[in-house]
Amino acid sequence: YTLSLHDALPISVHILSKANIIAFSTYVWNGNISLKIAEAIKHINPEVTIIFGGPFIPFHAEEFLRKHNFIDLVVHGEGEEAFSIFLEKYSDKDWGYIPGVRFIDDAGFYREKINDKGIRDIDKIPSPYLNGVFEHLIKSESNNNWVGVFETNRGCPYR
């Protein structure tokens, strides 16, 4: 059974609206549906922190953030370090020092912290395929066929 977009949206919103933090990894193929889901969730739960990342987000994100004011924070570039720092300091609500973030602060000013370092040693990011994160899912749904998806490059391949 395949859910239509019309069916999937209310289910996603219902499930996610109970969360404190929701992070969307957005691409051209899921950017618009992610925006719809995030906006609906923020309407139901104004206290949720919504984060967007991925190539769907424009590099100069001020106009994007003002247009989509239900998004609290966007992350550019590799998000692993930025998201980890965000989670560690979540209750501080001081995001200005997190590498790669853009946001509108409480006073209405656009703020950004450029991250030009990038992750040089890919081994610093543990592989969920190699460290067993997905094992319980695979074992619990043994009748399904599983496909491991991974990206073969990070960032812009043309620089």
Residue pLDDT, tens place only, 99-147: 889 999 989 999 988 766 666 676 777 777 788 887 887 777 666 676 6
Higher pLDDT, 64 or 157: 64
Type of residue at 48 = V
pLDDT in tens, 31-76: 999 999 999 999 999 999 999 998 899 988 999 999 999 999 999 8
> Which pLDDT score, from 0 to 100, does residue 156 have?
57
Reported confidence tier of residue 89, pLDDT bands at 50, 70, 90:
confident
pLDDT at 1: 44
- How far is residue 79 from each of residues 64, 151, 154, measured CA to CA in Å? 18, 14, 11
pLDDT of residue 74: 95
What residues contact 127, with CB distance under 8 A and at least 6 apart? none
Q: Which residues are bridge partners to 74 per DSSP? A: 52, 102
| pTM of this structure | 0.77
* Mean pLDDT on 78-84: 84
When the pLDDT of each residue in the chain is averaged and rounded to a whole number, the result is 82
Helix H, strand E, coil C: the string for 89-147 is CHHHCCCCCCCCEEEECCCCCEEECCCCCCCCCHHHCCCCCCCCCCHHHHHHCCCCCCC
